[in-house]
Amino acid sequence: MTDRGPVGGFEFESGGQYGRPQIVQAQAIDGTTVRVQFDQKMKHTNPADGDDVLNPSNYAFVVTGGVPVAASSVALHQSIPTFVDITLNNEMTSGSSIQLTVSNVISALGQIIDPSYDTYTFTGFGYKPQVQDATAIDGVIIEMTFNEAMSTTGLTTPSNYTILTGVNPPLTVISVDIISSTVVRVWIDTPMVVGGNYTIVVANVTDLSDNPIDDPPNDRDDFVGVDVQTKLDSAEPVSDTKIRLNFSKPMLNNAELRDISNYILTPVDPETAPLYFSQILIPGDTYPEYVEIPCSEMTNGKTYNCEVSITLEDRWGNHISPSFNDDDFTGQGTPPVISRVVSTGENRAVVYFNEDMRDNADIRNPANYAFDQGLAVLSVLDVSGERVELVTSDQTPGVMYTLQVTP
């Protein structure tokens, strides 16, 4: 990895001590620090004061050809007290043009900054991101780690990744998954040679400040080929009350595979119904490649996670890899429908649904119920099972009302 030293510095102290203060120079000294030189000492007693040189709000940046930046904090450069160091809210884009304007600040003698010399334009500096590590975590998956957070632009484009195989058969990247801001998993078309030596190279990607990937050798890393792991390939609903789990290899049809305690279904999104199940359905194959879980109804469109125990074995006795024993899936639910609406009094109406309803803020919100004919819903009196009781304005005997319920 390359060292990240300062970009530049200032080597002199200004002699100007009279008149209105002026900016002499501004320069990026690292990716997130700008050093500003004034021609005289400035007031630096309290960052909360509107006229203090340490107040971040007195610094405005206009960036051309890069990401926006703003001042987070300001510190006096003590060895040369006419200098301040501005810490930015994020890294600059290398090569961008940045115009700094300083307002409101006064000198130690009480003079406000000269409006003819309160602006300075300098070139932004940013560090190029680097590949920190590449490791084969499966025979068809390489996990890559970058040394800083990356932009998603181009990060999942397979053609931006090249695998140098040496004497081994060629490999082609077919997909890339983002695991975190610094980690991706690269999927290849065929299994790698176990113990084979490879190099993965990435191009056309940038960090969050649009700084491009570093030059060789920091755009690549070596890794050693490993065997294809046994893993939970995917979890997917096949109906609103059944989930299918697909494995990467034929599994051993034994007590472990049938044990419900080896499976966990967890809601990920808020306001998501928990899933209950009491059996695992296994095809009649000696070595099945999937199992199914009958469960309670899912919440439509909400995210769930399925995790399986690493005690499950494939037909050759290999256990599920702990790196690949869970998967997220989107719930498939059937929306409830209104069975009937019954008037039970001049100011009462009961709505019956075709299934039990969850008692929550939405179902108790009278704004979610609308009758025609000018009949208003004033409140929700009770929710019990499939039954919801409404309080209405005065109903007119013999008038037919139609209810609309907002999902």
pLDDT tens by residue, 313-355: 999 999 999 999 999 999 999 989 999 999 999 999 999 999 8
Q: How far is CA 284 from CA 7, 291, 316, in A?
A: 68, 10, 18
Q: Is residue 17 part of a domain?
A: no
Q: Residue 314 has what pLDDT? A: 95
Are 344 and 361 a contacting pair, CB within 8 Å? no
Q: Give the Cα separation of 341 and 400 in Å (integer).
A: 11
Q: How far is CA 240 from CA 211, 274, 290, 328, in A?
A: 46, 13, 18, 16
Q: Give the Cα separation of 300 and 358 in Å (integer).
A: 14
Are 104 and 58 a contacting pair, CB within 8 Å? yes
- Which of 123, 156, 172 finishes a domain? 123
Q: What are phi and psi of 255, to 5 degrees?
A: -65, -35
E strand or H helix that includes residue 134: strand 131-138
Q: Residue 162 has what pLDDT? A: 98
Q: Are residues 170 and 189 in the same domain?
A: yes
Q: Taking 50 as the threshold, does the pLDDT of residue 221 lie above it?
A: yes
Q: Residue 18 has what pLDDT? A: 63
Are 133 and 173 a contacting pair, CB within 8 Å? no
Q: What are phi and psi of 331, to 5 degrees?
A: -65, 145
Q: Taking 60 as the threshold, does the pLDDT of residue 365 lie above it?
A: yes
Task: Give pTM, 2 decimals.
Answer: 0.72
The one-letter amino acid code at 133 reads: D
Q: Residue 358 has what pLDDT? A: 86
Q: Is residue 67 part of a domain?
A: yes
Q: Give the Cα separation of 210 and 125 in Å (integer).
A: 11
Q: Are residues 394 and 378 in the same domain?
A: yes
Q: Taking 90 as the threshold, does the pLDDT of residue 22 lie above it?
A: yes
Closest residue by Cα to residue 4 from 31, 36, 33, 34: 31
Q: Which of 15-29, 74-88, 148-162 has the lowest mean pLDDT?
A: 15-29
Q: Residue 195 has what pLDDT? A: 96
Q: Is residue 260 part of a domain?
A: yes
Task: Compute the average pLDDT of residues 264-293.
Answer: 95
- Which of 123, 150, 180 finishes a domain? 123
Rg (CA), the chain: 32
164-207: pLDDT as tens digits: 999 999 999 999 999 999 999 999 999 999 999 999 999 999 99
Q: Which DSSP string corresponds to 230-251?
A: B-EEEEEEEETTEEEEEESSPB
Q: Are residues 206 and 258 in the same domain?
A: no
* Structural domains counted in the chain: 4
Q: What is the CATH number of the domain that holds 388?
A: 2.60.40.1220
- Which of 123, 150, 173 finishes a domain? 123
Residues 85, 89, 91, 93: is their CA dihedral positive or negative? Answer: negative
Q: Taking 50 as the threshold, does the pLDDT of residue 151 lie above it?
A: yes
Q: Taking 60 as the threshold, does the pLDDT of residue 7 lie above it?
A: no
Q: Are residues 273 and 248 in the same domain?
A: yes
Q: Are residues 70 and 112 in the same domain?
A: yes
Q: Are residues 277 and 368 in the same domain?
A: no
Q: Taking 80 as the threshold, does the pLDDT of residue 288 lie above it?
A: yes
Q: Are residues 54 and 98 in the same domain?
A: yes
How high does pLDDT run on average in the chain?
Answer: 94
Task: Compute the average pLDDT of residues 260-272.
Answer: 96
Q: Is residue 2 part of a domain?
A: no
Q: Residue 170 has what pLDDT? A: 96
Q: Is residue 4 part of a domain?
A: no
Q: Write out the residue range of the structural domain in which residue 176 sits.
A: 131-224
Q: Are residues 117 and 136 in the same domain?
A: no
The one-letter amino acid code at 142 reads: I
Q: Are residues 36 and 107 in the same domain?
A: yes
Q: Is residue 16 part of a domain?
A: no
Q: Residue 407 has what pLDDT? A: 78
Can you count the helices (H) and strands (E) in the chain? Answer: 1, 26
Q: Give the Cα separation of 129 and 196 in Å (integer).
A: 27
E strand or H helix that includes residue 303: strand 303-308
Q: Taking 60 as the threshold, does the pLDDT of residue 13 lie above it?
A: no
Q: pLDDT tier at 5 (50, 70, 90 boundaries)? A: very low
Q: Is residue 7 part of a domain?
A: no
Q: Are residues 104 and 192 in the same domain?
A: no
Q: Which of 35-44, 75-84, 169-178, 375-384 has the lowest mean pLDDT?
A: 75-84
Q: Give the Cα separation of 117 and 40 in Å (integer).
A: 13
Q: Where is pLDDT greater, at 52 or 16?
A: 52
Q: Are residues 157 and 106 in the same domain?
A: no
Q: Is residue 9 part of a domain?
A: no
Q: pLDDT tier at 80 (50, 70, 90 boundaries)? A: confident
Q: Are residues 94 and 28 in the same domain?
A: yes
Closest residue by Cα to residue 71 from 87, 49, 94: 87
